[in-house]
Chain A
Amino acid sequence: MTGMVGAFTATILAAGWTTLLLAVASLVVATVLGMAAAFAKLSGNRLLRSAASLYTFVVRGIPDLVVMLLIYYSLPALLNQWIDAMGIDARIEFPPIVAGIATLGLIFGAYMTETFKTALQNIPRGQIEAAIAYGLTRRRMFACIILPQLVRLALPGFTNNWLVLAKATALVSLIGLQDVMFRAKGAAEATGMPFTFYLVAAGFYLLVTILSLLLLGLAARRFEIGLRELAP
């Protein structure tokens, strides 16, 4: 009995790599999207601004699960209708991991947009003006003035988004990705011990949360070094 529980627990935890891969890949997509949309929201171009606002409004107004179902079921259905209409004999289908990364990247990109936008707005205007006065190129201004402060100012929101994202990956098990949650469901059904194995899954996510809090807390302290020296 305990041997069986141990074996199933091992398969559940082995799927932790799938969960982490999904989470980190989605985080990268979300960060890139969020950065692009944050600059779009603050740009002088009205078209860019409204496009970014529409993106964050729509994505944040729909539940994660529904966005995932839209991307996994509705989008291929729509594309296949078009393909049929053009008379091409082919079918589009996304693997669950791709649909998962696209979904979570899209959703958390919208949350990252707000985080980065607020952080960018909190960089003192005088510093940007000084950088322009010193004749820094746009690229150097971004790398040397904006980015270091952006990291510090956005880190609390970024940490929060990551914590929510890591937990949201559990949803992707519903479209068949073999992650921690999917394996827990398998073990629960095979053994008739659902509580035990969902508890194992819960423990995994809790561990990820606690480790992330500790690591990102250390990072926050690292990026605030310059600030604390100035304090009396």
Chain B
Amino acid sequence: MNWTVIAENLPLYAEGAKLTLFLAFASLAISFMLAVPLAFLRNSRVTAVRYTVLFYTLVFRGTPLLVQLFLVYFGLAQFELIRTSILWPWLSSPMVCVLLTFVLNTTAYTTEIFAGGLRHIPVGEIEAARAYGMSRRTQALRILIPAMLTRSLPLYGNEMIMMLHATSLASTVTLLETTGVARMITLTDYIQFEPYVTAAAIYLALTFVLVSGFQVVQRRWAGYLENRIG
């Protein structure tokens, strides 16, 4: 066993874990902002709008994240127009490509989760809001969005963990997050066992913290839903 190599490289792992968390939470934060309005559009009364959003979520949920990432990172270079545009310095950077792909992907899942939450709000709550004479804006802000989010919490928690784990794919396009660091150490020190076990332990710890934190959040904000069942 060769754990001294791991001990020497712990600062690298710390950097990697930091990048893992940054990628996960940056993607989740941006996609949250996009998914809330998209969830309303997904339930729009206008058929064309509803189906456009459905098409987007179907395509991004129906294809592997790895394919999407390669399409963006390697694929965009195929087009002369993109390579000569002013956006190219950004679009050729792995960091931007990874964030762009992750946001597009997790927004598709989050939109469906929130849209499902929106559909399951009891009609009575919406009727009551109308009866109180709330404007559509007030209805959305005070009634629909909070109810939608609390109802979506368990599934959204899963999506957060999925996203945390999905960040490991960033290592395939040269980013040195946790998995990338492990891969680099296997190549520089010719050991195959310890680096990946360490990476796995880091993910396990991060997942555990996230799940525990989420249970607290759920009890605080969605606790009222549980009482009603019991």
Residues of A within 8 A of B (CB): 58, 60-67, 69-70, 73-74, 76-78, 81, 163, 167-171, 173-174, 181, 184-185, 188, 192-196, 198-199, 201-202, 205-206, 209-210
Contact = CB atoms under 8 A, between A and B. Distances in A.
Q: Interface centre among B65, B76, B78, B197, by most A CB within 10 Å?
A: B78
Contacts of B74: 188, 194-195, 198
Contacts of B203: 61-63, 66
Interface in B163-218: 164-169, 171-172, 179, 182-183, 186, 191-193, 196-197, 199-200, 203-204, 207-208
Contacts of A170: 64, 66-67
Contacts, number: 122
Interface in B48-73: 58-59, 61-68, 70-71
B75 interface: yes
B160 to A, nearest CB: 13
A78 B192 CA distance: 8
A188 to B, nearest CB: 6
B70 A194 contact: yes
Given A60-B207, A210-B62, 7 more contacts: A66-B203, A74-B196, A78-B193, A167-B64, A195-B75, A202-B64, A209-B63
Name B's interface SS: helix
B79 A195 contact: yes
Name A's interface SS: helix
Please list the 8 inter-chain residue pairs (A to B) with the smallest Cβ-Cβ separation, ordered nearest first: A195-B75, A77-B192, A63-B165, A209-B62, A170-B64, A63-B168, A61-B207, A194-B74
Nearest to B204: A61
B140 interface: no
Contacts of B77: 194
Contacts of A65: 168-169, 171, 179
Contacts of A173: 66
A175 B182 CA distance: 15
B172 A174 contact: yes
Contacts of A69: 179, 182-183, 196
Q: Interface centre among B65, B66, B208, by most A CB within 10 Å?
A: B66
